[in-house]
Amino acid sequence: MVVPSTADGFRATVSPLHSLDGKAGVSFHTFKLTEDRCAPLPVKNLGRGMFESFVREELEYLNLRVQGVTQLRSGRRDQDPAKDRPPTPLFILTLVRGPEVSKVRALTDLCGLRVSVLSYMAPKGPLQFNRCQRFGHKQRNCGFAPRCVACGSSHLFSACATLREQP
């Protein structure tokens, strides 16, 4: 087996695995190189009523390219998770690593509001992917078959008949 010694060699080795996408019974797990990972930046004080599309348009107007804009929603324990959770004034901007990150960190005003760009704090504990129930990766790096968290069979949790039969 040849082990790639450069970042481009690693990308060339892993790309055929991603193209399989679980076909032909191939299971795999890989990781992303640090330079290929996106940088999440929390932005505080944008307001609860702000739309993600407005934030994206404002950033494009400022010539800042972002890959994603996501408004966080309230996750209080006393709320029913089935109901729509109310938005918070906190947004997560996802950027490709590079000079754009420092430009976004320098922002003080966005969409006519004074904002604070914070450092992202990763959640504590292991990362578990909810499709295969394995630890240490997310969707982009998963080639495992789906596994139900309730019964352990090879199907998604949303298609589980066990939940309907017995509590």
What is the arithmetic mean of pLDDT over 114-135? 82
Tell me how far apart the alpha carbons of residues 33 and 8 are, in angstroms, rounded to a whole number.
10
Q: Is residue 8 part of a domain?
A: no
Pair (101, 82) in one structural domain: yes
Pair (40, 111) in one structural domain: yes
Number of folded domains in the chain?
2
Burial class (CB within 10 angstroms; exposed 0-12, middle 13-18, buried 19+) of 41: buried
> Which of 22-36, 62-76, 102-116 is modeled with the greatest confidence?
102-116
> What is the structure's pLDDT at 23?
61
pTM of the model: 0.59
Residues 6+ apart with CB under 8 A from 30: 14, 17, 137, 141, 143
Q: Is residue 24 part of a domain?
A: no
> What is the structure's pLDDT at 152?
82
What are the angstrom distances between the C-alpha of 21 and each of 18, 33, 39, 143, 160? 5, 19, 25, 6, 23
Pair (65, 116) in one structural domain: yes
Pair (50, 95) in one structural domain: yes
Structural domain harbouring 132: 123-167
